[in-house]
Amino acid sequence: MPPRVLIVDDEESVTITMAAILEMDGYSVATALRADDALAQIEAEEFDLVLTDLRLDDFDGMDVLAAARRKSRETVGIVLTGYASLESAVKALREGAYDYMLKPADVEELRATVARGLERRKLGEQLRARVADLEAANRTINELNEGLQDRVARATAELQARVRDLDEARTELQSSYEKLQELDKLKSQFLSIASHELKTPLTALLLSLQLLSRRVEREAPQNSSLRAQVLRCESAAVRMSDLIHALLDVAQIHRGRLTLNVRELDIVETVRRVASGLEVTHGDGDGDRIAVHAAGPVTARLDPLRFEQIVTNLLSNAVKYGAGKPIEVRVDRDRSSDVAHLEVIDAGPGIDPTMQEKIFEPFQRVTSTEPIPGLGLGLYVVKLIVESHGGRIAVDSELGHGARFVVDLPRAGMPQPLPQ
Ligand code: ADP
């Protein structure tokens, strides 16, 4: 739609000329010779630009402009004035007219002034639209911001609640842990006291049983059932004594009281001695169930009694669980890393892979070996002793294909801090 222009002047020739010029520029032009006509037209429609003489009969052109601007704030006002009222033109500008033109107006000046006025109106409109856009964006941002603040506040509250829960859980855990530690200490103390208390009467019992056994041998050699009964008592007492010693060891190690008396030791010699001792006790008399392989002496700095305990435990397990089949022991020396290497190999039922780690934990036994008596402490004690010498123990086994226990000990002796 072309811009709407209203020309108000009481000289008809002026309105006609100006209207003709502006229509040629493509505007839609209305004219009024009188103020009341102008006001009626303004009332009826919105004009983009009003060009008015300042002095209309007895009416002030500024009132026409004011009416136009009341109708639409965007309407641009231009006043026409003669030299004599230049002052009032300046006043009109102060009161909000956009521009003024002196009469008689020059054609080019008229076209340029009207074009400028309309351009300003367009810019003003654009500016207002931008401002409106910005205000809308601002409102959206404010709403988002409020939403965000709300969410942040909710999340913060949730987080604080969680932190409180965690704090409570941590306090509970801490107190449970302290209780557990206390119980653990009590357990070790109990184990230690109980085993000590049991050791003395049991030693007396063992001694009496040995004396009784010798007496029965001497005085009633033909009474085989009595001999067998005494032997059963004796072996039960020996088992009980082994058990009590194992419990004492565990209690001692747990309380950090395992002192190692380390010295240079020929471990091949210890292995052979323990093996032949076991052959005598458990063997069938041939003395060839346990084969010891060693190229020559292998020395290491170890506690002799504790090392003997390692070998005894591993070998008696091999005898116990080895299904009566031959047992092999290999002793070797790994020159490059200066490690003494011990392997105890049996051809028994082997150990389920899921249990291979567990058997080194206290009181762990494999169900398949349940009928064979044991407490599940031997390998645990062995592991603790090996580790307190700075060594390592592992098992390699496949169900149905025997078991191979491997012990590596540093030859130079490197006591490590005890596991707690
Ligand atoms: P214990 O022999 O007193 O039960 P250990 O700690 O010496 O305790 O052994 C733990 C478990 O490991 C045993 O109960 C047994 O099930 C299994 N085990 C140990 N050595 C062997 C082996 N050579 N062959 C098969 N199973 C074994």
> For ligand 1, is residue 362 a contact (CB within 6 Å)?
no
Q: Are 318 and 327 in contact (CB under 8 A)?
A: yes
User: How large is the average pLDDT for residues 306-323?
Assistant: 92
Top pLDDT among 324 and 113 is at: 113
pLDDT tens by residue, 5-27? 999 999 999 999 999 999 999 99
Q: Whose CA is nearest to atom 23 of ligand 1?
A: 318
In a 3-state reduction of DSSP, which class is residue 327? Answer: strand
pLDDT tens by residue, 390-412? 999 999 999 889 999 999 999 98
Could you give the strand order of the β-sheet that contains 28-32, starting from the edge strand earlier in sequence? Answer: 28-32, 4-8, 49-53, 76-81, 99-102
> For ligand 1, is residue 413 a contact (CB within 6 Å)?
no
> For ligand 1, is residue 310 a contact (CB within 6 Å)?
no
Q: Are 246 and 378 in contact (CB under 8 A)?
A: yes
Q: Whose CA is nearest to atom 9 of ligand 1?
A: 376
Closest ligand 1 atom to residue 348 Cα is 24
Closest ligand 1 atom to residue 318 Cα is 23
Say yes or no to pLDDT of 371 above 80. no
pLDDT band of residue 281 (cuts 50, 70, 90) is low
For residue 413, how far is its CA from the centre of ligand 1 (angstroms)?
A: 27
Q: State which of 327, 345, 369 you would mutate to test the pocket of ligand 1, scoring each by most atoms of that ligand within 8 A of its C-beta.
A: 369
pLDDT band of residue 266 (cuts 50, 70, 90) is very high
For residue 332, how far is its CA from the centre of ligand 1 (angstroms)?
A: 24
Burial call 116-151: b when 16+ CB within 10 Å, e when fewer = ebbeebeeeeeeeeeeeeeeeeeeeeeeeeeeeeee
One DSSP character per residue, 5-51 reads EEEE-S-HHHHHHHHHHHHHTT-EEEEESSHHHHHHHHHHS--SEEE
Q: State which of 359, 382, 404 you would mutate to test the pocket of ligand 1, scoring each by most atoms of that ligand within 8 A of its C-beta.
A: 359
> For ligand 1, is residue 402 a contact (CB within 6 Å)?
no
For residue 407, how far is its CA from the centre of ligand 1 (angstroms)?
A: 16
How far apart are the C-alpha atoms of 144 and 63, rounded to whole Å? 46
Say yes or no to pLDDT of 285 above 70. no
* pLDDT for position 19: 96
Q: What is the CA radius of gyration of the chain?
A: 56
Which tokens belong to 32?
A: 């009024």
Say yes or no to pLDDT of 78 above 90. yes
Q: Are 378 and 265 in contact (CB under 8 A)?
A: no
Say yes or no to pLDDT of 373 above 80. no
Closest ligand 1 atom to residue 402 Cα is 24
% the chain with pLDDT above 70: 93
How far apart are the C-alpha atoms of 245 and 264, rounded to whole Å? 25
Q: Are 189 and 181 in contact (CB under 8 A)?
A: no
Q: For residue 250, what are the contacts with CB-CB under 8 A and spacing of at least 6?
A: 191, 362, 377, 380, 381, 384
How far apart are the C-alpha atoms of 383 and 306, rounded to whole Å? 11
> For ligand 1, is residue 375 a contact (CB within 6 Å)?
yes
Q: Are 287 and 276 in contact (CB under 8 A)?
A: yes
pLDDT band of residue 138 (cuts 50, 70, 90) is very high
pLDDT tens by residue, 197-206? 888 888 899 9
Q: Domains, the chain, ranges and CATH?
A: 4-105 (3.40.50.2300), 173-238 (no CATH), 259-410 (3.30.565.10)
pLDDT band of residue 338 (cuts 50, 70, 90) is confident
Q: Mean pLDDT of all residues in the chain?
A: 88
> For ligand 1, is residue 376 a contact (CB within 6 Å)?
yes
For residue 359, how far is its CA from the centre of ligand 1 (angstroms)?
A: 7
- The 3-class secondary structure across 159-216, one letter per residue, is HHHHHHHHHHHHHHHHHHHHHHHHHHHHHHHHHHHHHHHHHHHHHHHHHHHHHHHHHH
Residue with tokens 């020309």: 7
> For ligand 1, is residue 377 a contact (CB within 6 Å)?
yes
Which tokens belong to 323?
A: 């299904």
Q: Tell which residue, 32, 56, 60, 26, has the closest CA to residue 44.
A: 32
Which tokens belong to 162?
A: 């969680």
Which tokens belong to 217?
A: 């041998």
For residue 351, how far is its CA from the centre of ligand 1 (angstroms)?
A: 9
Q: For residue 12, what are the contacts with CB-CB under 8 A and spacing of at least 6?
A: 33
Closest ligand 1 atom to residue 369 Cα is 16
How far apart are the C-alpha atoms of 290 and 286, rounded to whole Å? 10
User: How large is the average pLDDT for residues 117-132?
Assistant: 92
> For ligand 1, is residue 379 a contact (CB within 6 Å)?
yes
% the chain with pLDDT above 90: 58
pLDDT tens by residue, 19-63? 999 999 999 999 999 999 999 999 999 999 999 998 877 788 889
Neighbours of 156 (CB within 10 A): 10
> For ligand 1, is residue 378 a contact (CB within 6 Å)?
yes
How does strand 59-60 pair with strand 263-266? unpaired
Say yes or no to pLDDT of 238 above 60. yes
Burial call 283-298: b when 16+ CB within 10 Å, e when fewer = eeeeeebbebebeeeb
